[in-house]
Amino acid sequence: MGKHPEYEPRYLSILEDLARSGKPQPLVEAALARKMLQHGLTSNNDTIDHLKRAIELGFKAPTVYEDLAEALLRADREADAVGPLEQGIEVAPYTPVLHKSLALRYINLKRYSQARKVLEQYVQLFPEDDFMRGLILKLPASDTPGQ
């Protein structure tokens, strides 16, 4: 749909038909959640529920973990967003956006030692990323007390 937005109405119509079919389908759950994230059509909790169901039903694409972390972040549950990102990295370790998102979550939570570990693993996998290598050098030496 990104390249051909003229297909969006038909796609959304088919998606709604599949959702009403009553048979749980992991790709449909993930697609409904993606639609909710993109259009802000419903609560973050509904989006989170669809994504968790997609994973439970066996959908293991990196985007579902990324979307779940995003939905949790939008629901002001940043600490909870860490788990799906870690799971996503286990499933798809060569997905740069998952590593970057996880490192950012740790930085925002002031868990710098964990952010450093994620970034060091990232630059081992993607040594061409000068920006991320430089970010490691800018991290504080220790976590904020109480974290």
Burial class (CB in 10 A: 0-12, 13-18, 19+), 27: middle
Is the Cβ–Cβ distance between 96 and 61 less than 8 Å? no
pLDDT tens per residue, range 35-84: 889 887 666 888 999 999 999 999 999 999 999 999 999 999 999 999 99
Rounded Cα–Cα distance for residues 22 and 145 (Å): 49
78: which 2 tokens? Answer: 């940043």
E-assigned strand segments in the chain = none
Architecture field, domain 1-92: Alpha Horseshoe (1.25)
Domain limits, the chain: 1-92, 95-147
Q: What is the pTM of this model?
A: 0.86
